[in-house]
């Protein structure tokens, strides 16, 4: 009896521990590109649905997306999609993924005009394959060059920056759509680093391998509270020579990495990137002197942005 109760308690504790782990979904489709070089539209939508179903535990896409967007935001608040077009045409967030997310958000009840796809500027959006549009009858798509930055600076560790108005004023919630890349300064750029596009002077956050710049930036209230989900584009990646497009180091993981814990998402992506580097005969990022230390910093007691301990991450591969 005692033994049985003990086992029951142990089981419950184990179940609880499992439940409080950060869920990170790694969804792959090796045939994502079919016979072409670009990801297939239908397969990307299917991959997104598969990832969101695993993340939300809801099989039907509409139900899954209604778990992501809270009811109080669904009706009349603006949902932002922060893409990344810095690396140029060959290595930017894929438009086909953005369009798939826009489709599902609308089916879940978000009005087209309440979706804003944004980046630093028009050029960064265009290289993603997106068209700038400010007409609120359709999904909007424009950059900080149109919306501007706040006049007032905010403290970000030792430096002061201005935040994009798209983040501070326009969007009630932001879904982060970075693309996985090696990064000359940070080691790796993915979820947290993508928020550099919300700052007017991102280069001020680059010293010391972007540490603690990345963690400090993500701690700013508007970013910490509004950016609630990452749907990371790892359909294409550069494993060396980033963050710009380096075709000689291009790689097609054909993967989406989804999670609400930005630190856990970045930790997972880092392991994937390092795995590819080793496979290609390159040193790991740490051995190359570019360990993405900011991930650890983001998880520390001062920042508490998420977890980087593999024991506290529930990795779900689908």
Partner 1 sequence: MLCNGRWMLAVTVLAIAGAAGCTGCRKTKVDLFPASGAVAGWEKTGDTRTFAAKDLWQYIDGDAEQYISAGVVSTATSDYKYQGHLEAVADVYTMGDSAGAKKILESGQTKDAKTVQLGDSGVAYAQSVTFRKGPYLVRIVAYESTPDAPQALVALAQGVEAKL
Q: Which residues bind partner 1 (CB under 8 A)?
A: 37, 86, 88-90, 183-186, 189, 196, 202-203, 206, 240-249
Smallest gap, in angstroms, from Cβ of residue 11 to partner 1? 47
The residue among 185 and 218 lying less far from partner 1, judged by its C-beta, is 185
Q: Judged by CB, which is closer to partner 1: 120, or 262?
A: 120
Instruction: Name, in order, each residue with C-beta under 8 angstroms of 297's C-beta and a sequence gap of 6 or more.
Output: 211, 212, 214, 215, 303
Q: How far is the CB of 315 from partner 1 (least distance, A)?
A: 27
Nearer to partner 1 by C-beta: 7 or 203?
203
CA angle 281, 284, 289 (to 5 degrees): 125
In the complex, minimum distance from the CB of residue 36 to partner 1, in angstroms, rounded to a whole number: 11
| C-beta separation of 307 from 313 below 8 A | yes
Of 71 and 281, the one with the shorter C-beta distance to partner 1 is 281
Residue number with CB closer to partner 1 (13 or 280): 280
Cα(118)–Cα(167) distance, rounded to whole angstroms? 9
77 touches 58 (CB < 8 A): no
The token pair at 178 is 């970075």
CA distance 149 to 26: 34
CB of 240 to partner 1, least distance (A): 7
Nearer to partner 1, 10 or 131 (CB): 131
Q: How many CB atoms lie within 10 A of CB 164?
A: 26
Name the minimum Å distance from CB 38 to partner 1: 9
Report the Cα 114 to chain-centroid distance in Å.
20
81/79 Cα distance (integer angstroms): 7
Q: How far is the CB of 271 from partner 1 (least distance, A)?
A: 21
């Amino acid at each position: 009896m005692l033994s049985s109760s003990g086992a029951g308690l142990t089981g419950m504790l184990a179940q609880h521990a499992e439940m409080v782990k950060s869920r990170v979904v790694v969804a792959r489709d090796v045939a994502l590109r079919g016979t072409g070089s670009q990801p297939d539209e239908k397969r990307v939508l299917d991959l997104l649905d598969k990832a969101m179903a695993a993340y939300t535990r809801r099989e039907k896409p509409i139900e899954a997306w209604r778990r992501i967007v809270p009811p109080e935001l669904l009706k009349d608040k603006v949902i932002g999609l922060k893409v990344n077009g810095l690396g140029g045409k060959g290595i930017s967030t894929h438009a086909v993924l953005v369009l798939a997310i826009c489709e599902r958000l609308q089916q879940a009840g978000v009005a087209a005009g309440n979706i804003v796809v944004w980046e630093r500027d028009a050029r960064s959006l265009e290289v993603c394959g997106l068209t700038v549009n400010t007409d609120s009858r359709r999904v909007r798509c424009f950059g900080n060059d149109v919306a501007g930055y706040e006049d007032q600076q905010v403290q970000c560790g030792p430096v002061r920056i201005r935040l994009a108005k798209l983040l501070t004023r326009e969007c009630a919630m932001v879904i982060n759509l970075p693309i996985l890349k090696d990064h000359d300064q940070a080691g790796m750029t993915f979820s947290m680093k993508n928020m550099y596009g919300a700052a007017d002077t991102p280069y001020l956050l680059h010293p010391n391998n972007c540490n603690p710049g990345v963690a400090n930036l993500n701690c700013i209230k508007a970013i910490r509270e509004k950016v609630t989900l990452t749907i990371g584009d790892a359909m294409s990646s550069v494993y060396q020579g980033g963050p710009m497009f380096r075709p000689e180091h291009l790689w097609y993981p054909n993967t989406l990495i989804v999670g609400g814990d930005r630190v856990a998402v970045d930790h997972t992506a880092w392991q994937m990137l390092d795995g590819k580097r080793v496979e290609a005969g390159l040193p790991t990022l740490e051995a190359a002197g570019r360990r993405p230390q900011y991930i650890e910093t983001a998880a520390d007691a001062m920042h508490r942005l998420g977890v980087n301990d593999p024991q506290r991450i529930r990795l779900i591969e689908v």
